[in-house]
A and B are shown apart, each in its own frame.
Chain A
Amino acid sequence: MKGYRWMAWGVVLVLGMMILGHAALAGDAKLEVTPAKAVLSPALIAKQPFQFKGSGFAPKEMIIVEMIVPEGVTVKTVPKGEKVGLAVGSTDEKGNFAIKMHPLSTLNWIFQVAWTPNMKPDLKKMSPLPPGKYRIEATGMQSGNVAKADFELLKPHPKRRNRPNVK
Chain B
Amino acid sequence: MKSQWFRFMVMVLGVAVFALAFSAGDARAAAKEVAFLDLSDFTGPVAGLALPNSLGIEDYFKYINSKGGVDGVKIKYIGVDTRYDVARALSAYKRYSRDPKVVAIEIVSTPVGKMLKALTRKKKMVITVPGDGEFQAHPGNFFPWGPTYQDAFAATIDWILKDWKKKGKKGKPSIAVLSWDNAYGREMLRGGKEYAEKKGVKVLPSELFPPGTLKTDVYLTRLAKSGANYVYVGGVDPTQTNVMRDATRLGLTKDIQFISDYWGPSSLGISVHPKALEGMVIVSFFLRGPEFQNQPLVQRLWKTYQKKPIKDMNEGYGMGVSQGITFVNALKDAIKRVGVDKLNREELYKSFQNMTGLSRDGIVGPCAYSPTSRRGSEVVKFYKVTNGKIVPITGWVKTPDAVALHKW
Contacts and interface: CB of A to CB of B under 8 A. Distances in A.
Interface in A13-71: 62, 64-66
B214 A108 contact: no
B84 A84 contact: no
Report the interface size class on chain A. 20 to 34
Given A11-B12, A85-B91, A115 B214 contact: no
Q: Is the interface of A mostly helix, strand, loop or mixed?
A: mixed
A85 B45 contact: no
Interface in A100-142: 102, 104-105, 108-109, 114-115, 117-120, 139, 141
Nearest to A139: B94
Contacts of A4: 2, 5-6, 9
A84 B88 contact: yes
Contacts of A77: 42-43, 81, 83
B217 interface: no
Contact of B95 (A1, A11, A62, A83): A83
A117 B273 CA distance: 13
A88 interface: yes
Given A8-B5, A8-B12, A118-B214, A62 B91 contact: no
A87 interface: yes
B92 interface: yes
B47 A88 contact: no
Contacts of A82: 91-92, 95
B158 interface: no
A147 interface: no
Interface in B63-100: 81, 83-92, 94-95
Given A1-B2, A62-B115, A105 B9 contact: no
B227 interface: no
B190 to A, nearest CB: 23
A87 B87 contact: yes
B91 A115 contact: no
Given A77-B81, A115-B44, A139-B94, A105 B214 contact: no
Nearest to A67: B91
B91 A64 contact: yes
B49 to A, nearest CB: 11
Contacts of B91: 64, 66, 82-85
Give 3 closest A-B pairs by Cβ, nearest first: A85-B91, A85-B87, A119-B212
Interface of B: 2, 5-6, 8-9, 12, 42-48, 81, 83-92, 94-95, 115, 118-119, 211-212, 214, 236, 238-239, 242
